[in-house]
Structure 1
Amino acid sequence: MGAAGPRRDTRGIVDAPDLFARVHFRRREPAPALRPYLEHYWLIDWDLDQPYAAHVVPHPSVNLVLQRYEAGESARERAGYAEVAGIGLGLFTRKLTGRGRVCGVQFRPGGFRPFAPEHALTDLTGHRIDAAEVLRTPPSVGAVLDPADEDARVAALDACLLALEPRPDPQATLAMELADRVRTDRSVCRAGQLARDAGLTPRSLQRLFSAYVGVGPKWVILRYRIHEALERAESEPAVDWARLAADLGYSDQAHLVRDFTATVGVPPTAYAAPPP
């Protein structure tokens, strides 16, 4: 299980070229023993003359985020802190100012539960919680954020997660496999179809996703389709929205427009429009 190296797409990042022009963003691969559970590590450093607001349409993934904002409003932000970010249901916005650093861990959908088996994933959804309240051995913020060498930061993240001793869980494995199929197989448009293909009842599939992912399968399907629409809006000069809606399994263009607007904040045609 696990992808062959970190993903290279920009799905979920709103106006990725603009963000990458302002911050140093990269993904790194975790230790082999962690790859069945993790998508990748993501590292961001910035040194800005002017404030910048970064926007992300979150993946259906839990993230462990260690962050330091040298111009932060609180002593906690300036010193650095670690938090577990449950699945974000809406558009996430973070204002970046001055200098700062973030080291994040993106777990695969379903992959976080083996690290904190006593926590219900639905209790994390929509929340950002101090890592010490969720993980029995929270990461050392200084060990991860202080090194100038990013290999040392990656090694510190590896050490932290390996110390949590995640144990294989067949249900977590099944949840990860089904969520990955939703992401990679555009023909999966309905939760009922996914349940049938997995040999599960719709209720069993719902319980599996609630316990191990944190949201229902229908929500995961919708979020991955919005990610694809967002990527197409950024990469293609003239998107045929009616055709894309059909390709993504929508009954009509209006439904895609409604979901895109509710998630991103503007209609797809306005998002894709060239700047004046």
Structure 2
Amino acid sequence: MDARPPRGVLYPDEHAPRVETSGRAPDPPSPFVELYWHVRWRVGAPYDSKVLSYPNVHLVFEEPAPLVYGPVRGLFVRRLEGEGQVLGVKFRPGAFRSFTTGPVAELADRRVPAETFLGPGVAEAGRAVLAAASLQEMIAAAERFLLPLLPAAPDPAAVEAAGMVDRLMADPGLLRVDQAAREFGVSVRTLQRLFADHVGTSPKWVLRRARLHEAASRADSGAPVDWARLATDLGYADQSHLTRDFTATVGVPPAAYSRS
């Protein structure tokens, strides 16, 4: 288990020897599912895996029963013990709205039994997924259950929300919600309502999370970081603003994190 974990996983040098992570995009591409991801671990002592998550809803096939994870606005922490594995279905931002009766914001920071949204058949599907002999077979078992439940076509509002999230996460030139709203040709209030209903987080949170991902990635690179310059590049008022933001979520200042 030595492959480097994906962006967002904190303390990657500690994580890699203990946890094997892999992912595969749907084939053909899906307007609903962004990624199938697999985590397998083997640890002697309990280990806390820490992740700066993305603005997505996940269906996770795990023991003792599958769960739906809403967007985690703080730090996602999962304690791993002994040996185990899970298969996750990462929905595109906005795509899980078709399974809910209310705004996706109601799922934020929650873990809900998957049968609440997907029916009792998800338990049997979970057993089939975890009993499969390979990642390809696990994904096939997940798709046999999930694909018949998906709408015939995606909700246009969900597609719009997903495009906006992608832009906010990728464009370093978008620093403020009012700036993003102008770029998208909508009011700030319209943007906020769209995100609450379909994404589950605020647009301000998405902008902030993108900046924290970049700060953590720079710290994990092993190269010296000019934190004052990075704070400016990321749109913070000054280095202390970046430090407060990073510390509030990760638990330690960025300079201390980079030395750990």
Question: Shorter-chain TM-score: which interval?
Answer: over 0.9
Q: Which residue of 1 aligns with 2:172?
A: 186
Which residue of structure 2 aligns with residue 201 of structure 1? 187
TM-score normalised according to structure 1 size: 0.87
Selected match of 1:36 from 28, 31, 38: 31
Q: Which residue is 2:60 aligned to?
A: 65
Deviation at 1:136, TM superposition (A): 4.0
Call closer, same or farther: CA 1:48–1:191 in 2, change over 3 Å.
same
Q: Which moved more, 1:242-251 or 1:9-18?
A: 9-18
The one-letter code of the counterpart of 2:72 is: G
Structure 1 outlier segments of 4+, above 3 Å? none
Unaligned runs of 5+ in 1: 1-7, 69-79
Of the three residues 132, 135, 150, the one matched with 2:118 is 135
Cα deviation for residue 118 of structure 1 reads 2.5
Aligned-partner SS, 2:127: helix
Q: Which residue number corresponds to residue 84 of structure 1?
A: 68
Looking at structure 2, the residues matched to 102 and 190 of structure 1 have their Cα atoms a distance apart, in angstroms, of 36
Question: Do the aligned residues in 2 keep the contact of 1:109 with 1:176 (CA within 8 Å)?
Answer: yes
In 1: Cα distance, 2:12 partner to 2:34 partner: 19
The code of the aligned residue for 1:109 comes to P
Deviation per residue, 1:137-174 (Å, 9 max, x gap): 65311111111222110101222221212332111011
Q: How does 1:1-276 map to 2 (within 5 A)?
A: 10-32=6-28, 35-68=30-63, 80-114=64-98, 116-136=99-119, 139=122, 140-166=125-151, 167-273=153-259, 275=260
Q: Whole-Å Cα distance in 2 between the matches of residues 111 and 219 of structure 1?
A: 19
Listed as ranges, the gaps of 5+ residues in structure 2 are none
The 2-side partners of 1:225 and 1:108 are apart by 20
Q: Distance in 1 between matches of 2:5 and 2:187?
A: 33
Residue deviations 1:172-218, cap 9 Å, x none? Answer: 01100000001111101011111111110111001000000011101
Question: Identical aligned pairs, as a percentage?
Answer: 44
Corresponding residue SS for 1:94: strand
Name the amino acid aligned to 1:235.
Answer: S
Can you list the C-alpha shifts for 1:96-139, whole angstroms capped at 9, x where unaligned?
A: 1111111111122222223x152420110110000011224653
Higher mean C-alpha displacement, 170-179 vs 52-61: 52-61
**How far, CA to CA, are the matches of 2:201 and 2:171 in structure 1?**
19
Deviates more, 1:124-133 or 1:93-102: 93-102
Aligned equivalents of 1:121 and 1:171: distance in 2?
A: 13
- How many angstroms does 1:221 deviate by? 0.5
Q: Give aligned pairs, total.
A: 254
Distance 1:63 1:17 in 2: 25
| Contact 1:136-1:164 within 8 A present in 2 as well | no
Q: Give SS of 1:212's match.
A: helix
- Secondary structure of the residue aligned to 2:95 is coil
TM-score using structure 2 length: 0.92
CA contact (8 A) 2:236 2:242 kept: yes
Could you tell me which amino acid in structure 1 is paired with residue 87 of structure 2?
Answer: C
Distance 1:224 1:170 in 2: 24
Q: Give the CA deviation at 1:226.
A: 0.5
Alpha-carbon displacement from aligned partner over 1:198-246 (angstroms, at most 9, x marks no partner): 1101110010000000111011100111011111110042111111111
Q: Call closer, same or farther: CA 1:150–1:10 in 2, change over 3 Å.
A: closer
2:120 and 2:189 map into 1 onto residues whose CA distance is 34
Instruction: Output the CA distance in 2 between the equivalents of 1:119 and 1:146.
Output: 33
Distance 1:246 1:9, change over 3 A: farther
